[in-house]
Structure 1
Amino acid sequence: MLAVPVLAGCSAVDRALDCAGTAATIAESVDDLQQAVSDAGEDPAQADKSLKAIDKNLTKIQDETDDGDVGKAVSSLRDAVDGVRSDVEAGRTPQTGPVTDAADELTKVCTPG
């Protein structure tokens, strides 16, 4: 009988660790995005590549958790990424601050403890 709660607890911890790991990967993608934006004149495709990497990882987090705070953070980050994508597609200089802020919030809500 004790195995069920322990397994459920481990599952929640594993999910939180997966979320935290994916959030760390997103943070790296955000760093890549910032670099790509600063180099956009030389290689505009790099920004798109970074945005796609962030989207992929956001989908992974969204699929792995049903936590409301994580869902809100994912939604905020997805909105910020969409804003950068729109700027890039329109030839405007993208503002990456909202992406960084949203990624920081996602990291906070994904961190176990």
Structure 2
Amino acid sequence: MPQSIARPATLAAAALIAILPLSAVSCSAAQKALDCGNTAIRISSDITDVTTAFNNASNDAAAAGQALQKLKNDLDQLGKNSKNTDVSKAITDLTTQVDKVQQAVDAKQVPDLKPLGDAAGNLTQVCTG
């Protein structure tokens, strides 16, 4: 199940990064592209770390919790710094999914990572749509 978000998350990051070179027609569009690019780089790495940690949870259970906390911290920071309301909302939605994964882990349940991948995909749509 954790591998199911690895590819979409990577594709999402690539799509977000791809919009950076596009010339913006307004300051708002340029700011949105900058927000999205910065977000893509950090979140792509964090989601990959979460996926890897859950794939190896039997070897190092603490790594999953650490990876989730890093993702949450980065999302909090990016949400505070985002100047675009659509990007901020997508970050908030992604944070909600991180919280749900954390709740499952805290309850000693296997988390469903698909909604986390879906939320990352939604961030891509916000940035490219």
Give the TM-score taking structure 1 as reference length: 0.76
Q: What's the offset of the Cα at 1:67?
A: 2.2
Say yes or no: does 1:56 pair with 2:93: no
For residue 108 of structure 2, what is the amino acid of its counterpart? G
Per the alignment, residue 33 of structure 2 pairs with 16
Map 1:12-51 → 2, pairs under 5 A: 13=30, 16-51=33-68
Say yes or no: does 1:70 pair with 2:81: no
**Runs of at least 5 residues in structure 1 that lack an aligned partner in the other structure:** 1-7
For residues 5-57 of structure 1, give each alpha carbon's deviation from its aligned partner in whole angstroms, at most 9, with x where no partner exists. xxx83x86256324322222212211111111121122111111111121122
In structure 1, distance between residues paired with 2:33 and 2:56: 34
- Measured on the aligned residues, the alpha-carbon RMSD in Å equals 2.2
In structure 2, distance between residues paired with 1:12 and 1:74: 18
Say yes or no: does 1:80 pair with 2:97: yes
**Runs of at least 5 residues in structure 2 that lack an aligned partner in the other structure:** 1-25
Give the TM-score taking structure 2 as reference length: 0.68
Structure whose CA Rg is larger: 1
**In structure 2, do the counterparts of structure 1 residues 59 and 19 end up closer, same or farther at CA, with 3 Å as the change threshold?**
farther
After superposing on structure 2, the runs of 4+ consecutive aligned residues of structure 1 that deviate more than 3 Å are none
**In structure 2, do the counterparts of structure 1 residues 60 and 45 end up closer, same or farther at CA, with 3 Å as the change threshold?**
same
**In structure 2, do the counterparts of structure 1 residues 12 and 56 end up closer, same or farther at CA, with 3 Å as the change threshold?**
farther
- Tell me the percent identity: 37
8 Å CA contact retained: 1:37, 1:94 = no
Q: What's the offset of the Cα at 1:93?
A: 0.8
For residue 93 of structure 2, what is the amino acid of its counterpart? S
